Amino acid sequence: MTTIHVVAGVGGAGKTTVSAAMATAFARAGQRAVVLTIDPARRLADALGIPHLGNEPTPIDVPGLPEGGRLDALMLDRKATWDGMVREHAPSPDLADRLIANPYYDAVSTRLTGGHEWMAIEKLHRLVQADRWDVVVVDTPPAQHALDFLDAPERIRRMLDGRVIRGVLSPRGGLLGLATKGAVDAVRRLAGPDVLDDLQGFFSLVGDLGDGFRERGGGVHALLHSAATRYWLVAPADGPRTSELVAFRDALRQQHLEVAGVLLNRFVPPLGQDLAPLHAVVQDAAVDSDPATSEAVTAWIHDRIDARHTQALRHAACRDTVGQALGCVPHPLPDAPHGIHDVHGLIALALSLPTGLTQRTQGTQ
């Protein structure tokens, strides 16, 4: 059984980086992990320190992987995934070719609201079906889109519902039936003679795919609600935007899903309660230097220590606020002062993920 970890949260919080670190942690625990990004930015490739990622899983070289451990990564290509789905569900290759060549297909596959999320889930479904991985980690775009991600199967399923398609096609009650002869002629004149034929052809072809699409919708819905699927929220330690996190938690609950944990990213831990000994060391170190220089250096170091101390206090307060609002203990992930740009940075972050994350759960093998 494949375990799925969906990493969601506020924009720029570190979802992509944390997803990659999570998948790295699983690989280092001897599991076959794949990380899928549906973030249209190329950040996953950046975090992994590789130039390019495509729509198919690419093996990532992680030093020191134990027997059985592997890491693959891919970035969703919406169009390629749509094409793959159409080819799978079309009754014949010829019908698939005709649909893909239809001018409306391009617009629908690239611009349909929620279409990106739908394809993400389609891709996720395929990764699970392939049965090549123990764990799939899904990186999502910023929060409002992540909510779309959960709703997408249902929305698209409704859109592709047989009744809607049949309604559009019906000669009496449908799109063509509703329009009077005059209106149809006007559309033909304005948009060109082929538009209505293309449009009707498009809906007719989509209608032929309807059953497979709807079944798949049910399958992915089950996948997102499976006990083997976990939802993580990532928030910046410096300003976690608690109300957005609560909104996300509530959206999950509406779907009878629970947050597995909140990860407070780029957390700066407290320096210690009493900074006096540290200040004394700085003073001592400055004693032998030129007085003017030593004074400036001492002041600079004091400023840095104070700023860091203030930041740490702020992060601790944010941790409490988020914990109270969500009724959990947020897990801090440390700030890497120089950023995370390769697998070594990911390994370091992976070591700070919650203990027990990589333990295989009951029912998984």
Ligand X SMILES: Nc1ncnc2c1ncn2[C@@H]1O[C@H](COP(=O)(O)OP(=O)(O)OP(=O)(O)O)[C@@H](O)[C@H]1O
Out of Mg ion, ligand X, none, which partner does residue 24 contact, by CB within 5 to 8 A per kind? Answer: none
Between 15 and 331, whose beta carbon lies closer to ligand X? Answer: 15
How do 58-59 and 70-75 pair as beta strands? antiparallel
The rounded distance, in Å, linking the Cα atoms of 147 and 92 is 35
The rounded distance, in Å, linking the Cα atoms of 228 and 224 is 9
Read off the tokens for 335. 């700030």
* Closest listed residue to residue 270, CA positions, set 242, 305, 235: 305
Residue with tokens 């497979």: 212
Identify the helix (H) or strand (E) that includes residue 234: strand 229-236
Q: Give the count of beta carbons closer than 10 Å to the beta carbon of residue 42.
A: 14
Between 16 and 55, whose beta carbon lies closer to ligand X? Answer: 16
For ligand X, the binding residue among 177, 339, 351, 363 (CB under 6 A) is 339
The secondary structure of residue 34, as a DSSP letter, is E
Between 6 and 160, whose beta carbon lies closer to Mg ion? Answer: 6
The one segment of 14-22, 115-123, 130-138, 171-179 that binds Mg ion by CB under 5 A: 14-22
Tell whether residue 39 is a contact of Mg ion (CB under 5 A): yes
Q: Give the count of beta carbons closer than 10 Å to the beta carbon of residue 356.
A: 7
* Closest listed residue to residue 271, CA positions, set 261, 263, 262, 282: 282
Question: Which residue is at the shortest CB distance from Mg ion?
Answer: 16
β-sheet with 58-59: strand ranges across: 58-59, 70-75, 32-37, 135-139, 3-9, 229-236, 259-267, 331-334
* Touching ligand X, residues 118-157 (CB under 6 A): 141-142
Binding marks (x or -) toward ligand X, 230..269, rule CB under 6 A? -----------------------------------xx---
For Mg ion, the binding residue among 2, 3, 16, 19 (CB under 5 A) is 16
Tell whether residue 17 is a contact of ligand X (CB under 6 A): yes
The one segment of 35-43, 100-108, 126-134, 178-186 that binds ligand X by CB under 6 A: 35-43
Out of ligand X, Mg ion, none, which partner does residue 336 contact, by CB within 5 to 8 A per kind? Answer: ligand X
Tell whether residue 218 is a contact of ligand X (CB under 6 A): no
Side chain identity, residue 7:
V
Out of Mg ion, ligand X, none, which partner does residue 217 contact, by CB within 5 to 8 A per kind? Answer: none
The residue ranges that bind Mg ion (CB under 5 A) are: 15-16, 39, 43
The residue ranges that bind ligand X (CB under 6 A) are: 11-17, 39, 41, 43, 141-142, 265-266, 333, 335-336, 339-340, 349
